[in-house]
A and B are shown apart, each in its own frame.
Chain A
Amino acid sequence: MVELVLVPLAETSSRANHTGLWRTLKPVIDYSSCIRCEICWKFCPDNAINLEDGRKTPAPNQKVIAFSIPVIDYDYCKGCGICANECPEKCIEMNFEEE
């Protein structure tokens, strides 16, 4: 039997849409004070923060060195500022984008 598709199907990922272009404020993480609590990752509405291996990244202390670090994907970050606002260490700074 031939399978007919009777409804329009959306097949490409929204990853094709680089919403980072919307940004006017850019969050920048200072890893030397980041305690790797993942709060910024948890609250990002754009899924623009990934958790990555941070064993080679400077850390505020040795206890957290094995934990993942949050890495912002600027292709998608819209610059809402939630991460900076919720970070308990206040180690995310929002800077104006340059031209």
Chain B
Amino acid sequence: MPTSIPEQELMEPGHTACQGCGATLAMRYVLKALGKKTVVSVPASCWAVIPGAMPNRTLDIPMVYTPFAATGASISGLREALDIRGDSDYNVVGFAGDGGTADIGLQSLSGAMERGHNVFYIMYDNEGYMNTGVQRSGSTPYGAETTTTPVGLDRNFKKQQKKVVADIMMAQGVPYVATATIAYPEDLIRKVQNAKKTNGPKFIQILAPCPTGWYYPPEKTIEVSRMAVQSRMFPLYEYSMGTFRLTRPSKPVSVKEYVQSQKRFSHMDEDEISILQEEVDRRWEGLLEKETH
């Protein structure tokens, strides 16, 4: 059967991610889309340890480690340096977690996008600081239990709604912005390849479920990723050259069904679930409106 995604593998086996890690699939698909002429910059995150201990590497392309807050600055520098060397045909990719993007790296990201470098910024969103033991980030959704939002007797789960960095990037006027997730690799790869056609900054937020931090069994990673789209918890869209396209889920499921698939939400009562459902509906309406403008 002709494979529906490129056969080339630039991520090797033997890496040290947890069983069923969604973040590894995000990297695997992005590199399938971009090919060998690619340089990746990774800040402190799970992906900084997934390649394993020295002297091992798991990517067959150059990978640079950068300080937690500096992904945007590092891809600016890499781009300019490669251009001076005449290597303008190399793709420069920042590959950072949600903590490194929505929180500590936001100003660096915004600056790089504003300066207009020809770079990719890929945010792999596992909705928490997973590498350091599951702390909440700005990208953690309302309702989730993390080690810094322990439910306990005070029902101290995360009370704030998810900060969606892709929406911020659209508001900033970044020429190419998209959301994707690992359950739909064909869509993800097509978006990365579309982004490549834009000569300028591009931002893609990839939802990458994490069995270790979302507390679900590892075999469910793809299922959970699919349900995030079907429940509209994580809408898929593409914003390119001012045109916005939203993907309508084929088999809608309720937010309730989605939260029941993960133990991080298991404490939520009906009222709390409806607060989350209302936010999801509100955001969906906003995205629908964007499509008509």
Contacts and interface: CB of A to CB of B under 8 A. Distances in A.
Interface of A: 8-19, 22, 36-38, 41-43, 45-48, 51, 64, 67-68, 73, 75-76, 78-82, 84-86, 94
Looking at chain A's contact residues, the main secondary structure is loop
23 contacts: A13-B12, A13-B58, A14-B14, A14-B52, A14-B56, A15-B13, A17-B16, A18-B14, A19-B14, A19-B15, A38-B4, A42-B4, A42-B5, A45-B20, A47-B11, A47-B12, A47-B13, A67-B1, A78-B19, A81-B217, A81-B218, A82-B218, A86-B223
Q: How large is the interface on B (under 10, 10 to 19, 20 to 34, 35 or more residues)?
A: 35 or more
Looking at chain B's contact residues, the main secondary structure is loop
B220 interface: yes
B15 A46 contact: yes
B126 interface: no
Nearest to B225: A43
Interface in B46-83: 51-52, 54-58
A47 B28 contact: yes
B14 A11 contact: no
A46 B23 CA distance: 11
Most chain A beta-carbon contacts within 10 A, residue among B13, B25, B54? B13
A10 B57 contact: yes
Given A16-B56, A86-B222, A10 B51 contact: yes
Nearest first, the 10 A-B pairs at minimum CB distance are A81-B219, A14-B14, A76-B13, A80-B20, A80-B19, A17-B14, A10-B57, A14-B58, A85-B219, A80-B218
Nearest to A11: B55
B4 A15 contact: no
B116 to A, nearest CB: 28
Nearest to B21: A45
Given A38-B1, A42-B4, A81-B20, A15 B12 contact: yes
A76 B222 CA distance: 20
Nearest to A23: B19
B41 to A, nearest CB: 13
B217 A14 contact: no
Given A10-B55, A14-B58, 6 more contacts: A11-B57, A14-B56, A45-B28, A51-B7, A85-B223, A86-B223
A60 to B, nearest CB: 14
Most chain A beta-carbon contacts within 10 A, residue among B4, B19, B182, B211? B19
A68 B2 CA distance: 9
A85 B16 CA distance: 22
A24 B266 CA distance: 26
B219 A46 contact: no
